[in-house]
Structure 1
Amino acid sequence: MQNSIQKVEKFTNFVWTDIWQPDRASLNRIAEEHNLDVFQIKDSLEAGHLPKFEKQDTYNFLILRAFTSTIEQGATTINELSNKIAFFYNKDKLISIHRKPFDFLNNLHKEFTKAEDLLLYLIHKMVETYQPPLNELDKKIEDFEKTIFLKDYSKVSLEDLYFLKTQTRITKKLLQLFQSVVNQIEVSEDSKTALQDIKDRLLSLILNYDEVLENANNLLNTYHSVNAQKSNDVMKLLTIFSAFFLPLTFVVGIYGMNFENMPELKWQNGYFLTLGTMVVISGIIYLWFKRKRII
């Protein structure tokens, strides 16, 4: 494991401490220095912890998860799709703790007057990480639909559809947890607009993911329907062949018996009469199928 990297940035009215690749020793030191709860420190170290919000007497504790995977990787669990950032904050300080590096934590292009302003900015950046996978999932569904309906459905694998549906479903649940936690955050009056903007963005993403999930379910059902239809077509073709050859096989079977008393065997034109009978039978079957619109 890499050593903990700590960055301290002083703003006009507060101090931001960012800790990357935290270890127990450095977090214990931070906890003692800022009087942080030991159980919340444990939550900060837990890789798979879900979003949560806790309000303490002197600070607030927040865990959120940003999307950090790619659709092509075939990830299907929360840990594979996302990584968390833990925040301890009050009006004087903001402490962020994370294992994975995030570009938006290193590239701040504006000055912040309050800790909650920086916090809301970082939350907004975390929310935005869910937009690229949404675009990619939507494009994949469109490509799959074109392949199934306009090209060769066999080029689409059931495994690909499974990953598509699972990734969409898990990401939507992550956003719903994200939304539930954000709804608990309390900010000052002049920051409520920024917080509401985050809530609106989350709602929009959830609705879009819900639509993509519905499309993924419909696509999976369509795939099964097309697959079943192809199987039905094969069975129909085999049934048609059987309907033609069954009576012909019956005729051949009769005249293939080795009985001595079979008058037709001595007919001079028996062979041609039998072939003619077979042709007539086939014609009758064909006309019946045509009339019933089976072929």
Structure 2
Amino acid sequence: MGMNVRKFQTFEWVDYENPKKSELAELIKPFGIDYHVLEDTLQVGHLPKIEKLNNLNFIILRAYSVSPEKQSSTISDLTNKIGFFYNDSTLITIHQKGFKFLENIGDDIEDPESLMIKIVERMLETYEKPTEWLSDLMDKFEKDVFLHKLQKFSVHDLYYGKAKARVCKKLLLLTQTVLNQVQVHPDNVTKLQDEKETLYNLIHQLDEFLEDANSLLNIYISTTSQKTNEVMKLLTIFSAFFLPLTFIVGVYGMNFQHMPELSNPYGYYYTILTMILISVLIFVWFKRKRII
């Protein structure tokens, strides 16, 4: 377990990284935190939440913690959480994974609320790269579909892109609900409002991706169906031409002894001429019906 204690001018920040339940329960005993609440901070897939304890505010939030390209569709694979316990004199953070954004935090923080908001700001910044990556991915998909490069279009990649966007949107909506319930001192209201606006912009971008992905998938299916229909149409036209010709060839391929046309010196030419005439009539009919 990693433990880091920083003393600011008016408060103390205690950060626990990858703690064991038994160790953490003993260390946090002086703060009077219930053991069942601690279990929430150590539960791998716990969603964002807020809870008011006797003398502490308790918040769980999740930060995006893998590369944007990773193909995964689960919350625990894409994100990791941080649990916050804070009051006017102390901020406690608990997390399993190490986060670089918890480093290099200046000493000019006025109070635990300001530090908590600063960490939330950096957590929200972790969603910016995957959101930008999804936007670039959508541009690539649109080029593949609209510039007739369907062979490069990957439904597999689109699925994981949609799954990633859904997970991020779900977590950000829950985070938005949490931040809307956070009560802060008047000096920190503007800071918190800035994070709410950042949240709104991220959710809006993910909404756009999901809408574009659904539209693009429908266009892809429609385009693929159209190409299939064109192939079927071409095969039908060929069949319409060759079916009567095949019938004539089949008739004169029968081995009957008495077939007058077989003994006629011009029988072969009459048959070929008939086949050409039938083909021309079929072509003219297709043209009039605007089938070809």
Band of TM-score, shorter chain: over 0.9
* C-alpha distance in 1 between matches for 2:117 and 2:102: 12
Where 1:221 maps in the other structure, the secondary structure is: helix
Q: Deviations over 1:192-218 (max 9, x none)?
A: 001111111111111111111100111
Range with bigger deviation, 190-199 or 221-230: 221-230
**Distance (Å, rounded) in 1 between the aligned partners of 2:15 and 2:83:** 10
Alignment correspondent of 1:120? 117
Are the aligned partners of 1:31 and 1:38 in contact in 2 as well (CA < 8 Å)? Answer: no
Provide the rounded CA distance (Å) in 1 between the counterparts of 2:165 and 2:286: 47
TM-score by length of 2: 0.97
Give the distance between the partners of 1:8 and 1:222, measured in 2 at CA: 55
Work out which of the residue numbers 15, 36, 39 in structure 1 matches 2:12.
Answer: 15
Structure 1's 85 and 163: CA in aligned 2 closer, same or farther, altered over 3 A? same
For 1:72, what is the secondary structure of its paired residue?
coil
Q: Percent identity?
A: 48
* 2:247 equivalent to 1:250: yes
Rounded to whole Å, the distance in 2 between the matches of 1:58 and 1:50 is 23
Q: How far 1:287 moved relative to its partner?
A: 2.0
> By how many angstroms is 1:33 displaced?
2.1
Equivalences for 1:1-295 in 2 at 5 Å? 4-295=1-292
Give the aligned residue type for 2:166: R
Q: What is the rounded CA distance, in whole Å, between the counterparts of 2:23 and 2:102 in structure 1?
A: 19
TM-score, normalised relative to structure 1: 0.96
Give the RMSD, CA atoms, in angstroms: 1.2
Q: Distance in 1 between matches of 2:290 and 2:27?
A: 80
Distance 2:29 2:226 in 1: 67
Q: How much does 1:69 deviate?
A: 2.2
Q: Following the alignment from structure 2 to structure 1, what is the Cα–Cα distance between the partners of residues 196 and 71?
A: 29
- CA distance in structure 1 between the aligned counterparts of 2:25 and 2:143, rounded to whole angstroms: 55
State the alpha-carbon separation in 2 of the partners of residues 41 and 89 from structure 1. Answer: 14
Distance 2:289 2:127 in 1: 55
Work out whether residues 169 and 203 of structure 2, in 8 Å CA contact, stay in contact via their aligned partners in 1. Answer: yes
In structure 1, give the amino acid aligned to 2:246: T
Q: Aligned-pair distance for 1:261?
A: 2.2
SS at 1:183 equivalent: helix
Gaps of at least 5 residues in structure 2 are none
State the alpha-carbon separation in 1 of the partners of residues 218 and 255 from structure 2.
55
Q: Distance in 2 between matches of 1:40 and 1:122?
A: 21
Q: Shift of the alpha carbon at 1:110?
A: 5.0
CA deviation vs aligned residue, 1:142-168 (integer Å, no higher than 9, x gap): 101111221421222221121111111
Structure 2 CA distance for aligned equivalents of residues 157 and 111 of structure 1: 49
Stretch deviating more after TM superposition (276-285 or 54-63):
276-285
Displacement over 3 Å in runs of 4+:
none
- State the shift of 1:61 in Å: 0.6
Q: Number of aligned pairs?
A: 292
